[in-house]
Amino acid sequence: MLGALAAAAALGIPLRSAARAVASVPPFLGRLQPVLLPSGAIALRDDYNASLTAANAAFNVLRHARAGRRVLVLHGVSDFGANVRRRHRYVGSIAPQIADLAVFVGEGSDYACRRAVEAGLASDHVFGFQSQFEAAAFLKKELRSGDLVLFKGKTTDHLARVFFAQFASVACWKLRCPKTMLCDECWELGVDSRDLRRVVPVAAE
């Protein structure tokens, strides 16, 4: 987007006109993709890349967002190697700065929960789940209108299943999946095409 705006400026196109054109570009799949959930909450689906740089950019969006309640749903970030404890303690320390409610998913989520509470988030606003199935069920009951929910994970985490479960029944809940594709493209997701049509982007302010 910045490159497009820079090119427009170089061609003498007014910034306001260029911004209007950029605003009409549809969101990229799995990259801070804003979607209205059936609960009335707005999701920011960001499960394509969880490098530390990408994660921090997404965290900053949530940090500065205006919402009734900011919710972080996180399966972890990359760039910490095999050190699960260090990775989750890092994201736990960030949580109170960016979210009102934090949901940590997967191996090491207990480390993230403890660190989030130590860093200042109320213990009844921090939840950890080993399985995505449990996290999805919790969120389906918990989320409400006015919430802004960041779903953050790596492609190989397949956190999109938690997102899709807010719309319909999901068939695949494997704890580990070797596929490197997005769940949208996977035949094992098992979401009816009619339900997928309900997953539509919304304008993010």
Residue 175 lies in a domain: yes
So what's the pLDDT on residue 120?
A: 97
Residue 86 lies in a domain: yes
So what's the pLDDT on residue 8?
A: 66
Residue 85 lies in a domain: yes
Which tens digits make up the pLDDT trace of 131-177?
Answer: 999 999 999 999 999 999 999 998 889 999 999 999 999 999 998 89
SS3 84: helix
Helix or strand holding residue 34 (H, E): strand 33-36
Q: How many domains does the chain have?
A: 1
Which tokens is 52 given? 């530390």
What CATH code is carried by the domain that includes residue 178? 3.90.190.20
pTM (two decimals): 0.86
So what's the pLDDT on residue 204?
A: 53
Residue 22 lies in a domain: no
Compute how many other C-beta atoms are within 10 angstroms of the C-beta atom of residue 191: 21
Low-confidence residues in the chain, pLDDT < 50:
none
Residue 106 belongs to domain spanning? 34-196
Residue 15 lies in a domain: no
